[in-house]
Amino acid sequence: MATVVTTVFTGADLVVVDVTATATKDAGPVTINHRTAFTASGNPAATASQVGVVLIPLLTLAYASRWAVTQVNTTQIQLTKLSTAGSASNNPQLRVRITRPHSIGR
C-alpha cells in the first residue's frame, strides 16, 4: 500500500492531515497519529470517545475510495479505504480534521 499522510496543521486542539493514495488498487488501513496526548488528568479530561474526526473529500476519487474511520484511540485514528477504486493519484484525495474538546479558559 502506498498511502501518504501529510500534516497540514498541528495545534493544541486540532490536527489536519491530507491523505494521498498513490498506488493502483490501494486498500487497507492508514494510521494517523493525532498527537493530542489525551490523559485522564487533562484539562478537560478527554477520552478517545471525545475525539472528533471529519473527512473532507478533496478529489472525486475520495468518493470511489469509500474512506471510513475504523478505529479511534487516545493517540491515533485509523482510516480504512473500503474500495480499491479511486487510487493512483499523486494529489491528496482526502483531508482529515481531528479535534478534541477544549476549555476556553486555557
The predicted model scores a pTM of 0.81
Q: Give me the pLDDT at residue 12, please.
A: 77
Residue in 46, 45, 48, 41 with CA at minimum distance from that of residue 76: 48
Q: At 11, which amino acid appears?
A: G
Mean pLDDT, range 20-37, rounded to an integer: 75
Residue 14 has pLDDT above 70, yes or no: yes
pLDDT tens by residue, 39-72: 544 444 455 667 889 999 999 888 888 899 999 8
- What's the mean pLDDT when you consider all of the chain? 79
Confirm if 1 and 50 have CB atoms less than 8 A apart: no
Q: How far, CA to CA in Å, does 45 sit from each of 34, 48, 70, 92, 94?
A: 16, 10, 23, 33, 29
Mean pLDDT, range 31-44, rounded to an integer: 61
Q: Listing from the earlier edge strand, what are the strands of the sheet with 3-10?
A: 3-10, 14-21, 94-99, 52-57
Interatomic CA distance for residues 4 and 92, integer angstroms: 9
> Would you list the domain boundaries of the chain?
3-99
Percentage of the chain modeled with pLDDT above 70:
75
